[in-house]
A and B are shown apart, each in its own frame.
Chain A
Amino acid sequence: MPPAAARPAPPAAQQPLPSDTIVITGVEGKFALPDCVPRKPDEASQAACRTLTQVLRADLRFENLFQFVQDSLIGAIPPLNPQAPRFEDWKGIGAKFLISTQAEVTGGELVTEVRVYLVDTGQAMLQRRYSGKPDNPRIFAHQASDDILALAQYKGVARTRIAFVSDRDATKERPSKELYIVDYDGYNPRRVTVNGSLNILPSWRPDGQAIAYVSYRQGSPLIYLAKIFEGQSVANLSGEKGDSQAFSPVFSPDGKSIAFASNRAGSADIFVAAADGSSPRRLTTTQASDTAPCFSPTGQEIAFTSNRTGTPQIWLMDSDGLNVRRLSQGTGNYNDGCAWNPAKQYSEIAFTARLEAGPLHFDIAVIDLATRQVRQITEGRGSCEYPSWAPNGRHLVFSCERNKRWEITIADREGRSIQTLATGPGNNVQPDWGP
């Protein structure tokens, strides 16, 4: 059997937007998103429609870019006729944009149609039909959400997934930690590793086909590569020998290199190798512990944690190991776990910081690289650590301990909306937001 296809093909992304775009000023234009209209009365079609409506609303609201007409106003006008919308009705309740959705399950397929209209003119800005297996209608909504965000020149994340570590399948006899992946909204958690050992520090390859991670299945921490759609793994990617160990793998944004920490030269140092682990180069040479690297969006710089001045702090260097300078200043005596915002318009690095004295307790902080201003993302949520950015740089995922349980948590990049992601039981830590 050939390797399975990676994931639902991204059909719309292959359809280029027309070049004759028009600029609409004023985002105060509100969207109306009435309930999906089933094209058949059967329960399957109605259920698919309900899911489509619910998930599309959640997806579009997640990015907090659009305003929506209140549901109560939508309920006050005649129901949407998808064949011939009465645009004056929608204009009357203040909608500038109307999103019409229809669905039916027919011949073993779910077929949905999504249209976005400019209410003023009745012009359709987007008309798409999606068809596929009816097993998971959520994916149809995720695809439609990303297509609608693309109309506004935004890259949506509704089809992205988050890798994380959980002890949910551990037993007393086997206190294992395994890797899982989950949709960005907490649905469809799926287990990746099945070796019963400690599996930690997942890091997506930028193509979304594989996850590098650290496993103790041979006794000491080594880097593995899980080809998640083939169910195979590559052991000891960094080629450690003897009892040398490697951890903290992270791919460069172009996927061609992998950075990691190894103690092969005595103390933990940062190395960079080709993505297959070949041609490793040692970038740091101190006797201190240099660990937890992360790449800049261009791949030309690396941030990392070093205790060379006595306490763990975030440092920067060029990707050839030169031009080393300290980044974290005034954020306490313990900083670790950098995550460089992948969106180039946000020149900033998230990290874990012990901002307050007293009992050891961590918060997520973001430092602006131009101004060196630090903003605190979490406060009073218990200890939080291990930030990772959404691919569009608009949200952060990390893990927080609340009520003695670690949970995956998501915040927007300003730290204004913070939510726990319901991924399932157990302690859920070390999230890495994938493509």
Chain B
Amino acid sequence: MPFRLAARLPLTFLTLAFALTFGAGCPSKRPPALATAQPGEGAGAAGADSRSHARTQPVEEGPDVRAIRGEGTSGSDIAGGGAAFSGEGGPLADIHFELDSAALSDEARATLEKHAAWLQSQRSAHVTIEGHCDERGTVEYNLALGEQRARAARDYLVSLGVAQNRLNIVSFGKERPLATGNDEAAWAQNRRAHFAVK
């Protein structure tokens, strides 16, 4: 394979300044760093182990995203971030799905019919229907599949007379499994629609 090499570069040196630190000269008033491990690097940056320090501080507000500045880091956890996770339980039971399917089984339809009756009796209740998948599919297609599962549940509830504006859908794909095992029992639990009642 031929390959080209440049010759006859000017012999004068180029002085090349790296801007290795940014915002140099600005006094640092960042929140404590939540530094991560630096594999293989013995000499960690100063303050590299401030994670526990940061966690013990009351954190009320902070950025969603921390700035990447030079080798330093800034930012802190936002208290209450990730709101709207429903947790488990609630008055409406989960329904379950076959592998790689958003089709409603007879059992799922029967459960949804009970949910529809409950919703008719609880006129002020709003429900977020979460579609979940087991861990064996791929990330992006599972997001689509979880969306299909939540939508199938919602559409059936609407067909039973529940007003659509009382029902939101959210796909979690395989990002938030209920059961963490690696067997069919765990996977079957994770292929579900969950009903979070507000």
Mark A residues whose CB is within 8 Å of B: 1, 4-5, 8-9, 11-12, 15, 17-18, 20-27, 113, 118, 123-133, 135-136, 139-140, 143, 151-153, 168-169, 174-177, 180-181, 186-198, 200-201, 215-221, 224, 226-233, 243, 245, 247-248, 261, 263, 266-268, 289, 291-292, 305, 307, 311-312, 334, 336-337, 352, 359-360, 362, 383, 385-386, 404, 422-425, 429-430
Of listed A20, A191, A201, residue having the most chain B CB within 10 A: A191
Stretch at the interface among B79-87, B88-96, B106-114, B115-123: B79-87
Within 8 Å of chain A (Cβ to Cβ): is B21?
A: yes
A24, A174, A229, A291: which contacts B69 (Cβ < 8 A)?
A229
Within 8 Å CB of A193, what residues of B? Answer: 64-66
Within 8 Å of chain A (Cβ to Cβ): is B1?
A: yes
For the complex, what is the distance from the CA of A47 to the CA of B4, rounded to whole Å? 34
A248 near B140: Cβ-Cβ < 8 Å: yes
Within 8 Å of chain A (Cβ to Cβ): is B58?
A: no
Residue of A nearest to B134 (CB): A360
For the complex, what is the distance from the CA of A127 to the CA of B9, rounded to whole Å? 8
A15, A130, A188, A289: which contacts B147 (Cβ < 8 A)?
A289
Residue of B nearest to A28 (CB): B1
For the complex, what is the distance from the CA of A311 to the CA of B99, rounded to whole Å? 12
Chain B binding site: helix, strand, loop or mixed by DSSP? loop
For the complex, what is the distance from the CA of A24 to the CA of B7, rounded to whole Å? 10
A334 near B137: Cβ-Cβ < 8 Å: yes
Residue of B nearest to A354 (CB): B138
A18 near B6: Cβ-Cβ < 8 Å: yes
Closest 8 CB pairs of A and B: A132-B18, A231-B67, A196-B81, A219-B84, A197-B82, A11-B16, A289-B144, A4-B22
For the complex, what is the distance from the CA of A322 to the CA of B113, rounded to whole Å? 42
B22, B65, B143, B151: which contacts A291 (Cβ < 8 A)?
B143
Within 8 Å CB of B37, what residues of A? Answer: 189, 424-425
A17 near B139: Cβ-Cβ < 8 Å: no
The distance from the CB of B44 to the nearest CB of chain A, in whole angstroms, is 11
A136 near B20: Cβ-Cβ < 8 Å: yes
Residue of B nearest to A290 (CB): B144
Within 8 Å CB of B185, what residues of A? Answer: none
A360 near B19: Cβ-Cβ < 8 Å: no
A228 near B67: Cβ-Cβ < 8 Å: yes
The distance from the CB of A251 to the nearest CB of chain B, in whole angstroms, is 16
A218 near B64: Cβ-Cβ < 8 Å: no
For the complex, what is the distance from the CA of A133 to the CA of B99, rounded to whole Å? 55
For the complex, what is the distance from the CA of A334 to the CA of B41, rounded to whole Å? 41
B5, B11, B63: which contacts A127 (Cβ < 8 A)?
B11
For the complex, what is the distance from the CA of A429 to the CA of B16, rounded to whole Å? 36
B75 near A191: Cβ-Cβ < 8 Å: yes
Cross-chain pairs A/B with CB under 8 angstroms, 22 sampled: A5-B19, A12-B16, A22-B6, A24-B5, A125-B5, A174-B82, A189-B39, A191-B36, A194-B66, A194-B77, A196-B80, A196-B81, A220-B84, A220-B168, A221-B170, A229-B69, A231-B75, A268-B144, A289-B148, A291-B144, A336-B140, A362-B138
